[in-house]
Amino acid sequence: QVQLVESGGGLVQAGGSLRLSCTVSGNIFGISVIEWHRQAPGKKRELVADISDAGRTSYIDAVKGRFIITRNNARNTVSLQMNDLKPEDTATYYCHAPRIAWGRGTQVSVSS
């Protein structure tokens, strides 16, 4: 089975940056797109960004221009560089391989 493990979360001040990492292990055959989702307290989980096996990226408007998703296929990792963080970005961030597996999440807290 595929395992996704997130790391890099933490507490930062508004305007600061964090870099999240998702390491993919196990049988990764068939994995194409990797997504980052987030779930804020009292809110539903939402898609934040995704990246295809060809390196094509997509972002929701709320993070466009601030977050950058990248992948290192040799290392089987996907990263989310989060810049100019806002309190509204506070959430648990999850790595997701659609129809295959979810990570268990990493907490991001942004203070005002």
E-state strands within the chain: 3-7, 10-13, 18-25, 34-39, 46-51, 57-59, 67-72, 77-82, 91-97, 101-102, 106-111
Instruction: Indicate the pLDDT class of residue 1, thresholds 50, 70 and 90.
Output: confident
Query: For residues 17 and 82, is the Cβ–Cβ distance under 8 A?
Result: yes
Angle at 100 between CA 67 and CA 85, to 5 degrees: 15
Residue 29 has pLDDT above 90, yes or no: no
Give dist(CA 20, CA 39) in Å, integer. 15
Q: How many residues does the chain have?
A: 112
Instruction: Indicate the pLDDT class of residue 74, thresholds 50, 70 and 90.
Output: confident
31-70 pLDDT per residue, tens: 889 999 999 999 999 999 999 989 999 999 999 999 999 9
Rg (CA), the chain: 13
Give dist(CA 94, CA 88) in Å, integer. 16
Residue 37: the pLDDT is 98
The mean predicted confidence, pLDDT, of the chain is 95
Give dist(CA 95, CA 84) in Å, integer. 21
94-103 pLDDT per residue, tens: 999 999 999 9
